[in-house]
Structure 1
Amino acid sequence: MNTATPRARKLGSPIRLAVLTLLAGLNAAQAQTAGVNATPEAPKEQQQAQKATEASSTVIPEVYVTATKRSTSLQRTPVAVTAISAAALDDNHVQTIQDVVNLVPGFSATSQGDHGVITMTMRGIGNDSAKTEYADPEVAVFVDGIYSPRPEGATTLLFDLDGIEVLRGPQGTLWGRNSTVGAVNMQTAKPTLGSNSGYVEAGMGDYARVGGRGAFNIPLSDTAAMRVAFVHEQHDGYVDYQTPPNIPLVQQQAAAAPVIAAANAAHPNNPIAFQPLNNANFVQGGPKYNAQDQTALRLSLLWEIMPSLHWNVAYERYQDRGTPSMNLMQTPRAGQDLWSALIDTAPSLKRDSNSVRSRVDWAINPDMALAYIAGWSSFRGSSTYDQDGGSYVPTSFTTGGKSQANNTLLSKYKSYSHEVELQSTGKKQVDWLLGLYYGHENNAMRFDIPIMNGTQSGTVNWQGSFIQPKETVDSKAVFGQATWNLTDQWHLTGGARYTKDKRENIGGIGWGWNDKADVPQLPISPSTNPADAGSGFAVSSRNSGSFSGSKATWLGRVSYDITPTSMLYASVSTGYKSGGLQDGGIPYGQETLTNYELGSKSTFMNGMIRINNALYYEKFKGFQFSAPVTNPDGSHSLSTFNAEGAKVYGLETEIAAKLTKADRLQFTASYTHAELGALIGGSNDYTLPACSIPGISNCLDVTGNTMPHSPKWSTQLMYQHVFQLPAGTLTPRLSAHWESSSWLSVFNLGEPDRQGSYSKIDLGLRYDADKKYYVDLFVRNAADKNIKTSAQNPQGVWQAQYLPPRTIGFNAGYTF
């Protein structure tokens, strides 16, 4: 994941070497049979035939998952896991993780404006600040089993997938890092031997939406194949620009006069003079906020080296040239639309990532297999963002509000990981798996915040620059899990993982405005070096430090097969997320979670109905709450507070039914109770009272509050009917989501800080021709509901981010 051309060439050399090495040996290998751990889902181009077969059957197709690091039937896997096939992703027009959440009980995701990152909450627990190098997520993201430490690329644009598995509950034993409350594993479509196949698709929609995607499977020999997949999606922004204010000059002069006098008295060497409001300070054209412009390419290779050995390797390139999501006023000013803002910072977003993922599977003998999974990724990004969102109209060039920009000048991450797994194969008296893991991250960033009085031409309110040249993370683990098959019906599972983490912050400095008398009142720019003597900045925090921690996590589970189509299970499992460093090099503590769970999985009426349930209780300790705060000396920093804990319990159910050959219904529901333990938290994103504890200016006791993004009730209903036509099928689809009200922050600050109960309806109509052509029409958020995903009121005016408004479009494609 990289942007600079010279770096791309340098970092590309190991990629090219791996590909050339692979290609050099392709023709030398012998003819092979199917490989080890073959992917259960079929590529998209093979789904047309599967859909036709399913349409003539009253049986729900069997689904296989890798939740236990081996391919098993969903209904025989004693884990709370939702498996979403490639066909289901297609039918629901899933592009990002935010589109997945409605398909999974107890799952939610929110977007964060200035970073353009999606953060996830599962079973009432998540971290909205898991969008910087200072905070890790509680829900881990894996692509082909490889942990993705920074979600910017992995969760932003999903394409050419075999499916997604969402595992609920701690997954630390087998899946590892930061899977405290769950994990999401995305399985990319793999090459297929001996098949010339693929698909192409293009589409259009409102907001000037244009999209295209496709994949081609290319046989290279009897023992090798390549798959090339691509995607591009773009649409205009949803947020219109408001007209600059037109305030009489006399009123502007009266408002500005006392500020000018005070500023000149404090800065006699740099006097300022009145200036009228300048329309050039306000953005009126160009790209709008909430726009999409994303492209990705994936090259995958499969080499069957011998009947017992194969290698899957993939290179993926992703780039984003869209715009961030804007904070909108919840109550628009008179005459203004909700989807508009008075903008003084033009949006920009540049994100580039490169990833290499590799997996080698070797069937050592009929009883044992070895897997080596390795990954490397690089990310580089920058952005500009209007943080104030025009919440106040300036009354002069230096009065009437604050102009705040959040500018990420540099965001650079590199990571790599290695994992070795040795496991038994086939059904044995004892099924076992042993593994070793090592992961490394190297992060750097520069983040500037200019806050000016009135407009960008006004006086400085406060500004800072947070420069982190190097922060590293090293994580090592050894793990194992075994299932003792006591009888054909009783199964006892135990597992453990020991993890050792080390974090280092090297040379990090937070710079704050020193307001020197001889320094001009100008906003910080990319060319500003805060370390220069005449810059007007001084060190507010030195962030260098080191943190080390370790933890053993474990799992105990018993399952009972009541009948060949019904099972019960009970488990106790623990999760762990490492502590780390905050501004000032101050450490914060780890998170731990103990999860008690009862579950059932049943299939009825000869495969027509499938019902899965999970009842859980979670005891959570040390919840890490991260937020930007103002310190008593006026400096700003990002702080992390450890809550005493949280109590979470709930119920989840998933029902799939093939009512007739033509009618299919899916229903999910969840009940969640998530109560925060003792915590006094502060945040500059909210207007909070003065703090009674030392070290922070404003805070609030949130002990006993409900955790954010955890509605008490949530349901999802999907229904489709297949009409058989002379030359194909016509399938209308209905997807309806309802959830009760939920808080948007831990502060629970009243109705503006809450999303009320709401329903959301998506509609679709798909025509599949017998000759493999298809056309798919869709309407998302058909009722055009305004659905908040986050809220804030840093200047006393409540703002929010929202799910997209109603969108309409179509896709047309051809499979071969």
Structure 2
Amino acid sequence: MKLRYSALYVAMALVFAPGALLAADQQDASPQNPSSQNPVPAEKKVKQLDAIEVSATKRETPLQKTPVAVSAITPDTLDKERVMTVQDLTKLVPGLQATAQGDHGVVTLTMRGIGNDSAKTEYADPEVATFVDGVYSPRAEAAAGLLLDMDGVEVLRGPQGTLWGRNSTAGAISFQTAKPDINAGFYGNAQIEAGNYNLMGARAAVNLPISSTFAMRVAVVHTQHDGYVDYQNPASQLPSVAQQQATYLAAGLNPAKFRPIDPSLFVQGGDKYGAQDQSAARVSALWQPNDAFKWNLSYEYFIDRGTLNMSLMQTPRQGQKFWSALIDTSPYLHRNSGTVRSRMDWNISDGMQLSYIAGYNRFSGKSQFDQDSGVQVPTSFATGASSQNDRTNSSNYKSYSHEFDLKSVGQQTVDWIVGAYYGYEDNNIRFDIPIMNGTMVSESVAWQGSFIQPKETVKSTAVFGQATWHMSDHWRFTGGLRWSDDVKKNIDGRGWGWAYDPTVPQVPIAPSTYPSPATGFNISTRNDARYSDSRLTWLARVDTDIGEHGLLYGSVSTGYKSGGTQDAGTLYKPETLTNYEIGTKFVFLDGRLTWNTAAYYEDFKNFQLSAPITYPDGNRGLGFNNVKGSTKVAGVESELAFQQKDDRANLILSVIPKKELGTLLYAGSNDYQGLPRCAPQSGISACMDISGNDLPHAPTFSLTAIYEHDFHLGNGGRLTPRFSGQYQSDQWLSTFNLGDGDKQKAYFRGDLALRYTEPQDRWWASAYVQNVTDGRVRTSAGRFAMPDGSFQYVSQYLAPRTFGVQLGVWF
């Protein structure tokens, strides 16, 4: 894969070389505040674990004194685990699963068994909300580009509807970027990386104090590697010309139009599926004219020129490699995201603070994806296979939000916070699906459609309040309420379906073709609709100290995700979740050992499931269903952390013995061919009853273990081996629960690393291997109906074994 952003490396060298020289001249100068996303020197890193603070309650509180199930992930851990996307967080958080789904590459999150991995395109609303510096991000795949220069990540488990608002039904992820520091002086870090699959990467950050009241911070990153999926040679798989002609004639097609399959129709070169080519940059500023006011402002830009992940045959054809596919659609991905984030804090008095948090984002993308996965080999240029290209011609998402928080500060009998929120989204998309019989140039259309949504808007308004009453020195009661109002509109949205007009040439729809009767299309769905509803979410919690180093809490809380519009202009209902939880937090060994545990029971009403579906008339769309009755989930999760001068260890446990769907008689998905024909009242052509099935992406048992040890060398340097591994029991990959092909069996996936840190903590070098055993871990599934009546399952997989080396400097 060619290097497209070499200028970025040159710029980084020019910007940061002077800083490196400055550090060389000041041999005794140690970094006062080494940048996040790079490790802190071990002597400075070793501190009591109960000193870690979180903002889960929208005020800074010690993690061990915060009565919320929250995982706090430090910059050091983010770096050593090579966490670059939201998806990489999963092994560090109990009950969290993530996938990058299919033709859109949308990142979908599941928390405690609750999620929706078919939530795609412009309609998507997640059950796990993502925030960056307090600003809600509707698009998780660009929430924090490559997790650049982070100050930490907090993952809040369970509904967070009172303080964090809509779409935090199952939880919320809060990213905190590293902020400029006025008092710390000039410092920074830089890192380069190389590995297999032609991996190349670089990142750097620098703190720039401009004056006694103003500072800036600049951070950049670029990472790229070749794709994991090789192209199969069609010559070894296509039938002979004589066989093609015989099959073509047997199908009753016009003999005069027969032509042999051209092997060049299949892709055999260029960028591969599963490639990465991403860059991001952030400029942050801090203005603090006095002790009573400060303003943090940042602009971040993220570009993605990689490729989507390919769905692979679970059982490859004989003679073919597992990491390969017979591909007739070249991968393409083009994404840009620009974000402004702002936070102003005023200390109105000694006991009161006002905050204003605002954000603005523009996200655009184009892509194309081989949806047929190369499962079926054409028997002639117009028979034996369906060739499907899922293509996003354009997608544009614009969002902004404003939030005002007024809260108490300092020691109070009652800690309180009140706030108001307004968010707006304006989205549009054009998405084409040409499906041809045989090959993509067969001149025989199986079906094709174009989905054009020129304007879809979301308006979300909320007011909220939460208070904690310190009933005594050891007992506290917290209550909270949030009223949310959501309005969604689809304006002039149309689904166009193939009309099978024999007078119109049967060719795949091109991006430049606007569908109309003249080009062979009729309107299949009119999507104009308006949805409006409001909901009240609430929290009640009691917590108490257990001795000097323990905390016990019990809570009942609710979460809410709005309903909305869908294809054909029909509406779906909002979903609500009630969570009953009891938890403990303990500190042992003078702060060197912490143990946090939570047990929960969740009752989910009107759980929303979405999937691509086929209507009885043969046209297609994206359909939403609300699961009737209660979807129930129960589980236990636990986090154990140990840290002393030379040893650090973590155990992260999730047990979910109950994860049962409510009632849904008519569940369908085009990703699963061969479902039974559906009753006419269902409104779709194929479906099955999934009532009472297990939820997907919810293994009964999951355990992550991390351990590292510092060996002190004679020269004063440190050598640190690190082990990180995760075991998960088997789990379903869809709500259909269709058997082994629709399941990921129990697996173990382990990573190893070895890091050397030089005596003065000025630089370090590391070597790593991820997925040491080269295991094949499925994250999704689908199936194709084969001519002999069998089914071939396909899945997307976590990356194969990767390895590399890193070199980093502090200055």
State TM-score, norm by structure 1. 0.92
2:242 to 250, 253, 260: 250
Q: 2:732 matched to which residue of 1?
A: 743
State the secondary structure of the residue aligned to 2:248.
helix
Q: 1:476 matched to which residue of 2?
A: 461
Q: In structure 2, what is the Cα distance between the partners aligned to 1:155 and 1:217?
A: 19
Could you tell me how far 1:113 is from its partner in structure 2? 2.2
Q: Deviations over 1:583-640 (max 9, x none)?
A: 1110000000000000000001222211000000000000101011111111111110
Could you tell me how far 1:665 is from its partner in structure 2? 1.2
CA contact (8 A) 1:347 1:384 kept: yes
Q: In structure 1, what is the Cα distance between the partners aligned to 2:172 and 2:489?
A: 26
Q: In structure 2, what is the Cα distance between the partners aligned to 1:509 and 1:54?
A: 56
Q: 1:799 matched to which residue of 2?
A: 794
Q: In structure 2, what is the Cα distance between the partners aligned to 1:259 and 1:476?
A: 59
Could you tell me how far 1:155 is from its partner in structure 2? 5.2
Q: 1:518 matched to which residue of 2?
A: 503
1:178 to 164, 167, 171: 167
CA contact (8 A) 1:241 1:340 kept: yes
Q: Within 5 Å, which residues of 2 pair with 1:135-284?
A: 135-154=124-143, 157-194=146-183, 195-244=185-234, 245-259=237-251, 261=253, 273-284=257-268
Q: Within 5 Å, which residues of 2 pair with 1:532-551?
A: 533-551=517-535
1:441 to 425, 429, 448: 425
Letter matched to residue 716 of structure 1: T
Say whether residues 1:83 and 2:72 are aligned partners.
yes
Say whether residues 1:353 and 2:337 are aligned partners.
yes
CA contact (8 A) 1:589 1:622 kept: yes
Q: Deviations over 1:132-152 (max 9, x none)?
A: 221200000000011001223
Query: Structure 1 residues 272, 505: closer, same or farther in 2, change over 3 A?
Result: farther
Say whether residues 1:391 and 2:383 are aligned partners.
no
Q: In structure 1, what is the Cα distance between the partners aligned to 2:283 and 2:371?
A: 38
Q: Within 5 Å, which residues of 2 pair with 1:589-608?
A: 589-608=573-592
Q: 1:67 matched to which residue of 2?
A: 56
CA contact (8 A) 1:260 1:272 kept: no
Q: In structure 1, what is the Cα distance between the partners aligned to 2:174 and 2:215?
A: 24
Could you tell me how far 1:477 is from its partner in structure 2? 0.1
Q: 1:287 matched to which residue of 2?
A: 271
Could you tell me how far 1:260 is from its partner in structure 2? 5.7
Q: 2:676 matched to which residue of 1?
A: 689
Q: In structure 2, what is the Cα distance between the partners aligned to 1:746 and 1:783?
A: 29
Tell me which moved more, 720-729 or 311-320: 720-729
Letter matched to residue 85 of structure 1: T
Give identity over the alignment, percent. 54
Q: 2:689 matched to which residue of 1?
A: 701
Letter matched to residue 212 of structure 2: D
Could you tell me how far 1:159 is from its partner in structure 2? 1.3
1:322 to 300, 306, 309: 306
1:128 to 117, 120, 125: 117
Say whether residues 1:496 and 2:516 are aligned partners.
no
Q: In structure 2, what is the Cα distance between the partners aligned to 1:49 and 1:555?
A: 37
Q: In structure 2, what is the Cα distance between the partners aligned to 1:149 and 1:45?
A: 25
CA contact (8 A) 1:296 1:316 kept: yes
Q: Deviations over 1:720-759 (max 9, x none)?
A: 0001122311110001100100000000000000000000
CA contact (8 A) 1:43 1:162 kept: no
1:572 to 544, 550, 556: 556
Letter matched to residue 255 of structure 1: T
Say whether residues 1:485 and 2:470 are aligned partners.
yes
Q: In structure 2, what is the Cα distance between the partners aligned to 1:116 and 1:634?
A: 26
Could you tell me how far 1:661 is from its partner in structure 2? 2.8
State the secondary structure of the residue aligned to 1:382.
strand
Q: In structure 2, what is the Cα distance between the partners aligned to 1:629 and 1:381?
A: 23
Q: In structure 2, what is the Cα distance between the partners aligned to 1:361 and 1:95?
A: 30
Query: Structure 1 residues 710, 693: closer, same or farther in 2, change over 3 A?
Result: farther
Q: In structure 1, what is the Cα distance between the partners aligned to 2:252 and 2:63?
A: 70
Give structure 1 stretches of 5+ with no counterpart.
Answer: 1-40, 265-270
Could you tell me how far 1:129 is from its partner in structure 2? 2.2
Letter matched to residue 437 of structure 1: Y
Tell me which moved more, 379-388 or 241-250: 241-250
Could you tell me how far 1:53 is from its partner in structure 2? 3.1
- Superposed CA RMSD: 1.4
Query: Structure 1 residues 582, 794: closer, same or farther in 2, change over 3 A?
Result: farther
Q: Deviations over 1:232-259 (max 9, x none)?
A: 0000000000001342211111111244
2:42 to 51, 70, 79: 51
Say whether residues 1:313 and 2:300 are aligned partners.
no
State the secondary structure of the residue aligned to 2:121.
coil
Q: In structure 1, what is the Cα distance between the partners aligned to 2:130 and 2:571?
A: 25
Q: Deviations over 1:43-64 (max 9, x none)?
A: 5269765522345x7x436210
Q: 1:612 matched to which residue of 2?
A: 596
Q: In structure 2, what is the Cα distance between the partners aligned to 1:362 and 1:794?
A: 59
CA contact (8 A) 1:97 1:156 kept: no
Q: 1:22 matched to which residue of 2?
A: none
Q: In structure 1, what is the Cα distance between the partners aligned to 2:39 and 2:784?
A: 51
CA contact (8 A) 2:39 2:79 kept: no
Could you tell me how far 1:305 is from its partner in structure 2? 2.3
Say whether residues 1:733 and 2:716 are aligned partners.
no
Q: 1:711 matched to which residue of 2?
A: 699
Could you tell me how far 1:277 is from its partner in structure 2? 0.5
CA contact (8 A) 2:145 2:302 kept: no
CA contact (8 A) 1:44 1:87 kept: no
State the secondary structure of the residue aligned to 1:563.
coil
1:668 to 646, 652, 662: 652
Query: Structure 1 residues 651, 793: closer, same or farther in 2, change over 3 A?
Result: same
Letter matched to residue 406 of structure 2: L
Q: In structure 1, what is the Cα distance between the partners aligned to 2:400 and 2:546?
A: 44
Could you tell me how far 1:678 is from its partner in structure 2? 0.2
State the secondary structure of the residue aligned to 1:595.
strand
State the secondary structure of the residue aligned to 2:780.
strand
Q: 1:36 matched to which residue of 2?
A: none
Query: Structure 1 residues 200, 97: closer, same or farther in 2, change over 3 A?
Result: same
Q: Within 5 Å, which residues of 2 pair with 1:33-48?
A: 44=35
Letter matched to residue 797 of structure 1: Q
Q: In structure 1, what is the Cα distance between the partners aligned to 2:376 and 2:109?
A: 31
1:621 to 588, 591, 605: 605
Q: Deviations over 1:353-383 (max 9, x none)?
A: 1000000000011000000000000011000
After the TM superposition, which parts of structure 1 deviate over 6 Å for at least 4 consecutive aligned residues?
none
Could you tell me how far 1:502 is from its partner in structure 2? 0.2
CA contact (8 A) 1:43 1:190 kept: no
Q: In structure 2, what is the Cα distance between the partners aligned to 1:415 and 1:514?
A: 36
State the secondary structure of the residue aligned to 1:385.
strand
Q: In structure 1, what is the Cα distance between the partners aligned to 2:552 and 2:98?
A: 30
CA contact (8 A) 2:34 2:40 kept: no
Q: Within 5 Å, which residues of 2 pair with 1:82-121?
A: 82-121=71-110
Q: In structure 1, what is the Cα distance between the partners aligned to 2:469 and 2:179?
A: 32
Letter matched to residue 690 of structure 1: R
Q: In structure 2, what is the Cα distance between the partners aligned to 1:87 and 1:49?
A: 7
Query: Structure 1 residues 589, 48: closer, same or farther in 2, change over 3 A?
Result: closer
Q: In structure 1, what is the Cα distance between the partners aligned to 2:286 and 2:120?
A: 34
Could you tell me how far 1:156 is from its partner in structure 2? 5.4
Q: In structure 2, what is the Cα distance between the partners aligned to 1:306 and 1:803?
A: 49
Q: 1:815 matched to which residue of 2?
A: 810
